[in-house]
Amino acid sequence: MANKPRPLTDEAIVMIARRFGLLSEPLRIRLLHALHDGEQHVGALVARSGGSQTNVSRHLQALADAGIVGRRKAGLQVFYSISDPSIYELCDLVCGSLEKQHRARAALLARRAAR
């Protein structure tokens, strides 16, 4: 049996909704996935994510404003890293759930095809 959720204030609910909204953009998920390997400069993140320099920078700014990633400047380059590692726990939960759903759906389709 799951634990009963703790009560949430209206302010907390808004903050949670904003966090999930921030993670609803596929490029941001790609950037977080790329940063799982450690700190990287913007150019590397552009190459790994497939986004444009401008778009990647805009999304990194949004993630930084939310406190999910941190940045440091070294000369002309800006490096980004994960500053809130709990983001990976959240992603693992979501990915695990989606993987279970996908397996169940694939098994159902295989049973239907075998009929």
Domain match, 76 and 114 both: no
pLDDT of residue 29: 92
Q: 109: domain range?
A: 85-115
Give me the numbers of helices (H) and strands (E) for the chain, helices first please.
5, 3
Q: Cα dihedral angle (16, 6, 2, 106), rounded to 10 degrees?
A: -10
State the total domains in the chain.
Answer: 2
Record the pTM.
Answer: 0.77
pLDDT of residue 1 exceeding 70, the answer is no
Classify residue 2: in a domain, yes or no. no
Residue 1 lies in a domain: no
28 close to 22: Cβ distance less than 8 angstroms? yes
Residue 16 sits in the same domain as residue 61: yes
CA gap 43, 38 in Å, rounded: 14
Q: What is the mean pLDDT of the chain?
A: 89
Domain-embedded: residue 98? yes
Q: Residue 9: enclosing H or E segment and its boundaries?
A: none
pLDDT in tens, 28-71: 999 999 999 899 999 999 999 999 999 999 999 999 999 999 99
The verdict on 18 and 58 lying in the same domain is: yes
Same-domain pairing of 69 and 91: no
